[in-house]
Amino acid sequence: MFGKVMVANRGEIAIRVFRTLREMGIASVAVYSEVDRDAEFVRHADEAYLVGPGPATESYLKIPALIDVARRSGAEAVHPGYGFLAENAAFARALGEAGIVWIGPPPDAIEAMGSKTRARALMAEAGVPIVPGVTDPVATVEEARGIAEEIGYPVAVKAAAGGGGKGFRVAREPGELESAFQGARGEGERFFADGAVYLERYLPEPRHVEIQIMADARGACVWLGERDCSVQRRHQKLVEETPSPVVSDGLRRRMGEASVRAARAVGYRGAGTLEYLVAGEEFFFLEMNTRIQVEHTVTEMVTGYDLVREQVRVAAGEPLSFAQEDIAPRGHAIECRINAEDAARRFMPSPAPITAYREPAGPGVRVDSGVRAGSVIPEIYDPMVAKLVVWDVDRETARRRMIRALDEYVIEGPVTLIPFHRFLLEQEE
């Protein structure tokens, strides 16, 4: 097992990983930018090193600086958290070349699943259902018209390298296709330096359901149930829960088995998430996230397993600590992402100092946060303040517990989504 691990991230996910490392008896190393010099996560590590100015491109995304810190600190491995370089195959390879272990999947698996078109082709070969469409990039609007007529409107035009809602456009009728094509291609070029796009049938009212998988280097691969992530804004998740209220036992098993096939198809290792669109008893592959997810917490709440601990164990060459038959999810868990955003202003970020802060507590309540009173939510990073997670025996009691926890949560200074979440959880929909 490792003696020291560096976390190449910030905020609540850095603290989340530090806590598991401490429980495992592993020394921890933080990296921080000038903006984060006094951030709460820095205090949770055994050692902390400055890596650059505030902008992520000059600090958290600067691979040579991160590797330099790992070497100087004596860290044997690096956990990337999520976001930043968590799905960057070049970073994973650079660490390997420096003799440092990457706590994540093999770089080849990251690359295979990072390209939407290549991933669709691989999943089709592995027998994982994909939305009707094409796996090859579409070069022109004229070519797109022919494909759209074949698969039927509405169609989704997607950037091959897209994600997080970027490079995604919908054409509900032929007259909208050219605008959707150019819009998706333009965003692909701007955000991912890749203008390749592909087409697939657009499902108007699907549920967004994902399956958590975990694999070791010894051939074991398991699935740990599903998470429903259908409540989103701008294609980014706000509320996640498990189990999904629309997934039957049979569908759950089919999705889980398909997810294991998908992981095996790319030689996967570590924690990963297969995301699907679900319509009735049908499910279609959407993408794979080759990292720990923000919402891994709800899976931990119902299964009792520490997924970060398993990531570390697997990276150290140890086997998974559980088999498929050991996984028996119990109860219902819900996560609300508490962002510093103003829902009344189209979810505009609300960066500001936190003047008062008090977290909820009590039975079945978990808060993964990276702040305290006096912390500042900076303008230049993601506006997530915390993840509020609750567990109870069933969905209705978990919903009521979440409302109670939201009522207890005090964050003064920035505008947050707490009132929005409270409103949302009281709607019949």
By the 8 A CB rule, do 418 and 357 touch? no
- Please give the pLDDT value at position 164: 67
The encoded tokens of residue 264 equal 């095996």
| CA distances in angstroms from 389 to 15, 322, 372, 405, listed in the order given | 16, 24, 18, 9
* Cβ count near 173 (within 10 Å): 10
Can 346 be counted among the known catalytic residues? no
- Residues 11-20 pLDDT 10s: 999 999 999 9
Instruction: Pull the structure tokens for residue 137.
Output: 């990039």
**Both tokens of residue 232?**
């989103």
The residue to which tokens 């090859």 are assigned: 136
Q: In sequence order, what DSSP letters do the residues of 6-30 get, joined into one string? A: EE---HHHHHHHHHHHHHTT-EEEE
CA pair distance 253, 243, nearest whole angstrom: 12
Q: How far apart are the first and last CA of the chain?
A: 47
DSSP strand pairing (270-279 vs 356-358) = unpaired
The active-site residue, picked from 169, 291, 337, 401, is 291
- How many whole angstroms separate alpha carbon 320 and alpha carbon 269? 11
- In whole angstroms, give the CA distance from residue 272 to residue 279: 23
Q: Name residue, tokens 């007529």.
A: 149
Question: What is the token pair recorded at 351?
Answer: 């960066």
Question: Which pLDDT score, from 0 to 100, does residue 205 have?
Answer: 86
Instruction: Specify the pLDDT at position 233.
Output: 87
Give, for all 429 residues of the chain, the pLDDT tens digit. 999 999 999 999 999 999 999 999 999 999 999 999 999 999 999 999 999 999 999 999 999 999 999 999 999 999 999 999 999 999 999 999 999 999 999 999 999 999 888 898 899 999 999 988 887 899 999 999 999 999 999 999 999 887 767 899 999 999 999 999 999 999 999 888 899 999 988 988 899 999 999 999 999 999 999 999 999 988 889 999 999 999 999 999 999 999 999 999 999 999 999 999 998 999 999 999 999 999 999 999 999 999 999 999 999 999 999 999 999 999 999 999 999 999 999 999 999 999 999 999 999 999 999 999 999 999 999 999 999 999 999 999 999 999 999 999 999 999 999 999 999 999 987
Q: Distance (Å, rounded) from C-alpha 105 to C-alpha 87?
A: 9
pLDDT tens digit sequence for 127-174: 999 988 887 899 999 999 999 999 999 999 999 887 767 899 999 999
Strand, helix or coil at 231? Answer: strand
What's the pLDDT at 341?
Answer: 97
